Amino acid sequence: MKTKSLILVFAFLCLTTTVQLTGCSNKSEKQNQALTVTDKMELPASVSGQQEKSTMTNEEYGKDRAADAADKNALRKAPSADYDNVPQKIIKSADISFKVEKYEASRNKILSIIKQHHAYVSSENQTGDEFRTSNVMVIRVGAADLDVLIEELLKEAVFVDYKKISADDVTEEYVDITARLKSKKDALQQYELILKRANTIADILEVQQYIRTLQEEIESIEGRLKYLNNKVELSTINLTFYEQGKIMPMQSESFGFKVRQALSYGWQGLVTFFIGMIYLWPFWVIVIVTLYFVRYFVKKARRKRVKKQQQ
């Protein structure tokens, strides 16, 4: 009896479970059908309009993202300078000093030589006295004509004091500055793209500040590059030439001239003597103090001798 009761209970549980599973399955199918029908229903006009608006906004956003990506790709594909093929940049300069036979004739000849070699004088300083007239010129000439011009100038020399030629290689600095300039320009383009996408006034002002700073740095770098190019293309010659001897005409050595010259030299000698005496004031102080003590001791010794004679 107990065994039959257990079998009946087990069969009843199995039947109940089967019915529940079947019901759940049917309920799930009905829900799926309901969802399918709901999906096929048309949305109200207001909701449809909102969905279309949202879709259009996403498309516009996608276009903006595509434009940004295209701009960045264009910047990446921009041709970069081939720094390996940069020609050697050398700044040449020369310092020359020599004596000439006739100052005026040599100066005119030197100016003619400078003009023949398409050079120019950037500065000139002439000085002179009774015994020497000299001129210091700063000449700018093309680097290719430097050696020829120096040889032509030396032909006017009677005696060469010195000749110095130097060459300063600035290729490394030139390449470094060029690379920095390109980097600054790329950054400026990036900020200009960001400025186009800025929406708020605060963002616009901040980006404009960065752009102004970059523009100032770019102008400074371009100025340095221009200076280096000028120094490389045009060499500098520091030329000094002079005529030695009594160049100024002497006055007639008449009797009156000699008297005036003697009075002038005598007065100058007297002034020099008094100034020399003033320079020696420590010596005169020592002499006066020494004489005082010598006189004091001499008088003291004399008084003692007088006393002894009186005794």
3-state secondary structure of 118: coil
Specify if 224 maps to a domain: yes
Same domain, 244 and 137: yes
**Residues whose CB falls within 8 Å of the CB of residue 125, separated by 6 or more in sequence, listed in order:** 135, 136, 137
The model's pLDDT over 48-91, given as tens digits with 9 standing for 90+, comes to 333 333 333 444 444 444 444 444 444 444 444 455 677 889 99
pLDDT (tens digit, 9 = 90+) per residue, 5-24? 444 545 555 555 444 444 44
Query: Which of 249, 268, 303 is the endpoint of a domain?
Result: 249
Domain membership of residue 107 (yes or no) is yes
Compute CA distances 140 → 165, 225, 260, whole Å.
14, 18, 49
Q: Is the pLDDT of residue 94 over 70?
A: yes
Instruction: Check whether residue 125 and residue 201 sit in a common domain.
Output: yes
| 108-118 confidence digits (pLDDT tens) | 999 999 999 99
Tell me: do 130 and 228 sit in the same domain. yes
Domain shared by 5 and 126, yes or no: no
- Within a domain: 267: no
Is 303's pLDDT higher than 80? yes
State whether 139 and 213 are in the same domain.
yes
- Name the token pair of 191: 């900020």
Cβ proximity of 218 and 184 under 8 Å = yes
Q: How many domains does the chain have?
A: 2
What type of residue is 227?
A: Y
- Short-list 229, 232, 227, CA closest to 144: 232
In a domain, 145, yes or no: yes
Q: Answer yes or no: do 98 and 243 share one domain.
A: yes
Are residues 104 and 233 part of one domain? Answer: yes
Are both 32 and 110 inside the same structural domain? no
Last residue of a domain, one of 193, 228, 249: 249
Give this prediction's pTM. Answer: 0.50
Predicted confidence (pLDDT) per residue in 224-236, tens digit: 999 999 999 999 9
Model confidence pLDDT, tens digit, residues 119-163: 999 999 998 887 889 999 999 999 999 999 999 999 999 999 999
Say if residue 26 is in the same domain as residue 98.
no
Beta bridge partners of 138: 123, 238
**Mean pLDDT score, 32-55:** 36
| Tens digit of each residue's pLDDT (9 = 90 or more) over 256-288 | 777 777 878 888 888 888 888 888 888 888 989
Q: Are residues 101 and 245 in the same domain?
A: yes
Percent with pLDDT over 90 in the chain: 38
| 270 in a structural domain | no
Domain match, 100 and 214 both: yes
φ, ψ at 159 (rounded to 5°): -145, 130
The answer to whether residue 281 sits within a structural domain is no
Would you say residue 104 lies in a domain? yes
Sequence-distant (≥ 6) Cβ neighbours of residue 61 within 8 angstroms: none
- Between 2-16, 19-33, 201-215, 237-251, the lowest mean confidence (pLDDT) is in 19-33
pLDDT on residue 60: 44
C-alpha closest to that of 173 among 91, 57, 72, 266: 91
Domain boundary among 213, 230, 249: 249
- Whose tokens are 């000085």? That residue is 127
| Structural domain contains residue 195 | yes
Q: What is the pLDDT of residue 271?
A: 85
Domain that holds residue 201: 90-249
23 and 98 fall within a common domain: no
